[in-house]
Amino acid sequence: MYTGVLKKMLTKFDEPIEYSLLLNQQKIDMNMLIGANLKVTYLNEIRCLGCGEKTTKSFAQGYCYNCFTSLPETDECILKPELCRAHEGISRDMKWSEAHCLQEHFVYLAISSGLKVGVTRSSQIPTRWIDQGASKAIKLAQTPNRYTAGIIEVELKKYFSDKTSWQKMLKNEIAEEDLLLAKQKASDLLPEYLKKFVINDDTIWEFDYPVLEFPDKVQVQNLDAQPTIEGKLLGIKGQYLMFDKSRVINIRKHGGYKIKLEIV
C-alpha cells in the first residue's frame, strides 16, 4: 500500500516507455503493475503543488488559487507561449523565466491522434511528447526563447491543429501522416522572417506505450465524483492509467490529490 499526493508520472524514453509514480518519496514502478488489480482511493485532501497548503479546489492541475494567480509556472504564457514577455523583462519571477522561458525552445509536429503543432522547451524533449501520448514527433524549428516559438506556433495554427483528441489517443486511433512531408509543408507556410528558425534535423521520434489492451470507448474517472477506482490496470499512455471496463484516469489532472494506492 502506498499513500501520498499525486504528481504527474515520471517517464523514461524506452521501448516501451517506462512510467513511475512518486508517492510520499516512494518511487513506484508502474510498468510492473500492468495486469495487476489496483485500488485507487481519494483521501479527500488536496495539497497545493506550489506551497503545499491544503486547498478545497485545484487550479491548473494542482495549485491553490493564490499560487495559480502568482506563480510563474501557472502564468498565461504556459498555455499560450506567444503571450510570454520574459524577453522584455516582464515576468512574475524573472529568475524562473530565465531558466524556463529564456531558454532554447522547439516548435514541433506530433501525432497523438491527428497531426498537431506544439511548443516545448529543449529540456522537455521527449518528455513533452510522451505526456501527450504521441506516437510520432519531429522537430520543426529551434528558437532562443519561448515567445518566438509561440509566434511560429500561432502562424502554423492557421493550418494545423494544436489540440489532441485524447479520446482517440487513448483508443489508439492514430491518423496516418507523413511527418517529413508535413514538416516541409509547415516550413513553406511560414513567413520569410520565421523561416530562418526551421532546422534540418529530420529525426522522427517514435513511441511505444505499455498497454495490454486499448479501450473501445473511454469512460473518464474523476476522483471528485468517484473517490474509489478498483480494477485491472491494462495500460498507461500519456498521463493516463487505463483500467478494465474502458475506464481511464488522468493522473496529471488530479495533481495535488492525496490518494492511497493498493494492489488487491
- Condensed to tens digits (0 to 9), the pLDDT of residues 213-247 reads 999 999 999 999 999 999 999 999 999 999 999 99
pLDDT grade for 133, boundaries at 50, 70 and 90: very high
**Same domain? 78 vs 198:** yes
**Same domain? 190 vs 238:** no
| Residue 232 near residue 35 (C-beta atoms within 8 A) | yes
Q: Average pLDDT for residues 13-17, to the nearest whole number?
A: 97
Question: Which residues does 174 contact at the CB level (< 8 Å), separation at least 6?
Answer: 111, 112, 113, 135, 168
**Same domain? 166 vs 92:** yes
What pLDDT does residue 172 have? 97
Q: Are strands 247-250 and 257-263 parallel, antiparallel or unpaired?
A: unpaired
Cα–Cα distance measured from residue 47 to residue 27, given in angstroms and rounded to the nearest whole number: 19
> 227-255 as b/e, with b when 16 or more CB fall inside 10 Å?
eebebbbbbbbbbbbbbeebbbbbbebbb
What pLDDT does residue 3 have? 97
**Same domain? 143 vs 228:** no
The residue out of 206, 222, 252 marking a domain boundary is 206
Q: What is the pLDDT of residues 31-82, one digit of tens each?
A: 999 999 999 999 999 999 999 999 999 999 999 999 999 999 999 999 999 9
**Same domain? 57 vs 159:** no
Q: Quote the pTM value.
A: 0.95
The residue out of 189, 206, 223 marking a domain boundary is 206
Q: Average pLDDT for residues 239-259, to the nearest whole number?
A: 98
Q: What is the pLDDT of residues 78-132, one digit of tens each?
A: 999 999 999 999 999 999 999 999 999 999 999 999 999 999 999 999 999 999 9
User: Residue length, the chain?
Assistant: 264
Domain range for 29 is 2-64+211-263
**Same domain? 39 vs 103:** no
